[in-house]
């Protein structure tokens, strides 16, 4: 393990703040563990019924936009119900994700080792290799739009991305289910911000996304004693993320209002939605990109179980320009293309030479 990574167990985000492209005043440790930290047991993350936007009339859509906008403005996170995605699909995704990581040899996995393509580092990340600044106790795999047969490209080959090409149709179905929610959510956010709700319709039709599969293996005594977290504290570098509720606890989010951590419990079958750095930038800081991390379960029994999650990060294509939306007061940020914006931030994790200017 490099020193940089070992230091990450005790480091705070402020050591890496120069990479950020939106304002982040909060200071926090990358991992829970050796630090005295306060937990917020009071606050409840708001649950919003996205069915009101999907099936409701104008008044229902407006009410949903207000509800969602307020939840995100306050804390950057909301829980979506009424989305219509079958809970059985999530149960199957859990099983198939576990199968992907435990049923494929390391040699095969390493053939797909993550590499940058466009803005995003895509492919397989071995345990403790998700970032270069903290030894995250997770194995991950990132599949972007090009890893799915979504656009009728005759040259598409699942075997270029998947160690088991037969897994592509299932995970494609999962992505399609969430893809259906992209426009309703973005239209609601734009409506909340007082903008034309359809301003991003074109940019977000067949947009890029990152379907990340996370496999957190059962924890050893050595893991627990190392002080490392399952995933370091971070903010998402995207517009927003859809994260189906996990069955093992771990997700914590930082309440900037009191600098306490919130253990987020979302009901099975619900989707956690959070805004990322792209959203913070274009909303002129109205919709925050909120810090979150995955910590070890408190129950020793649960620590002996693997944990699985499958967040979908919604991106804009590399050439799109991130510009503060109209009517939000003096712009705090200059317009910037998604490619330099994204890679400057993520060079925090992958090394300075990861950043691309144009």
Footprint of Fe ion (CB under 5 A): 236
54: helix, strand or coil: helix
Nearest alpha carbon to residue 242 among 62, 46, 85, 98: 85
CB of 214 to Fe ion, least distance (A): 10
Distance, in Å, from the CA atom of 246 to the CA atom of 129, rounded to the nearest integer, reads 22
Closer residue to Fe ion (CB): 195 or 251: 251
What is the distance in angstroms between the CA of the first residue and the CA of the last residue of the chain?
32
Closer residue to Fe ion (CB): 94 or 236: 236
Question: Given the DSSP bridges, would you call strands 260-263 and 47-49 parallel, antiparallel or unpaired?
Answer: unpaired
Distance, in Å, from the CA atom of 272 to the CA atom of 250, rounded to the nearest integer, reads 13
Burial per residue of 280-292, b for 16 or more beta-carbon CB atoms within 10 angstroms, e otherwise? bbbbbebbbbbbb
184: helix, strand or coil: helix
Beta strands per DSSP E along 281-355: 292-294, 307-309, 312-314, 321-322, 336-337
CB of 275 to Fe ion, least distance (A): 11
CB of 229 to Fe ion, least distance (A): 12
Closer residue to Fe ion (CB): 32 or 236: 236
CB of 258 to Fe ion, least distance (A): 21
Distance, in Å, from the CA atom of 156 to the CA atom of 170, rounded to the nearest integer, reads 16
Tally of CB atoms within 10 A around 151: 9
Closer residue to Fe ion (CB): 138 or 324: 138
Closer residue to Fe ion (CB): 136 or 168: 136
Distance, in Å, from the CA atom of 199 to the CA atom of 206, rounded to the nearest integer, reads 15
CB of 142 to Fe ion, least distance (A): 12
Closer residue to Fe ion (CB): 52 or 234: 234
Residue nearest to Fe ion (CB): 236
CB of 237 to Fe ion, least distance (A): 9
Closer residue to Fe ion (CB): 61 or 289: 289
Residue 61 has which token pair? 């859509």
């Amino acid at each position: 393990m490099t020193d940089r990574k070992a230091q990450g167990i005790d480091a705070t985000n402020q050591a890496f703040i120069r990479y950020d492209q939106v304002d982040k005043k909060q200071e926090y440790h990358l991992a829970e563990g050796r630090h005295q930290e306060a937990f917020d047991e009071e606050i409840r993350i708001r649950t919003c019924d996205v069915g009101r936007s999907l099936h409701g009339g104008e008044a229902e859509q407006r009410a949903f936009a207000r509800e969602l906008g307020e939840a995100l403005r306050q804390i950057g996170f909301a829980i979506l119900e009424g989305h219509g995605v079958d809970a059985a699909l999530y149960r199957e995704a859990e099983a198939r994700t576990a199968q992907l990581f435990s049923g494929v040899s390391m040699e095969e996995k390493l053939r797909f080792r993550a590499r940058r393509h466009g803005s995003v580092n895509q492919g397989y990340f071995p345990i403790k290799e998700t970032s270069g600044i903290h030894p995250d106790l997770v194995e991950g795999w990132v599949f972007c739009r090009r890893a799915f047969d979504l656009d009728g490209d005759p040259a598409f080959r699942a075997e270029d991305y998947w160690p088991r090409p037969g897994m592509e149709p299932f995970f494609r179905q999962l992505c399609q289910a969430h893809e259906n929610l992209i426009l309703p959510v973005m239209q609601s956010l734009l409506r909340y911000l007082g903008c034309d709700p359809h301003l991003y319709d074109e940019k977000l039709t067949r947009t890029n996304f990152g379907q990340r599969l996370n496999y957190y293996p059962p924890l050893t005594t050595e893991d627990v004693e190392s002080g490392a977290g399952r995933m370091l504290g971070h903010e998402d570098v995207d517009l927003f993320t859809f994260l189906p509720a996990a069955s093992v606890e771990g997700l914590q989010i930082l309440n900037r209002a009191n600098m306490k951590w919130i253990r987020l419990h979302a009901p099975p079958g619900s989707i956690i939605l959070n805004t990322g750095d792209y959203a913070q930038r274009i909303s002129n800081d109205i919709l925050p990109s909120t810090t979150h991390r995955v910590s070890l379960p408190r129950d020793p029994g649960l620590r002996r179980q693997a944990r699985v999650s499958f967040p979908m990060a919604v991106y804009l294509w590399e050439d799109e320009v991130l510009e503060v939306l109209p009517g939000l007061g003096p712009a705090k940020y200059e317009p910037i293309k998604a490619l330099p914006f994204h890679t400057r931030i993520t060079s925090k994790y992958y090394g300075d030479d990861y950043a691309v200017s144009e």
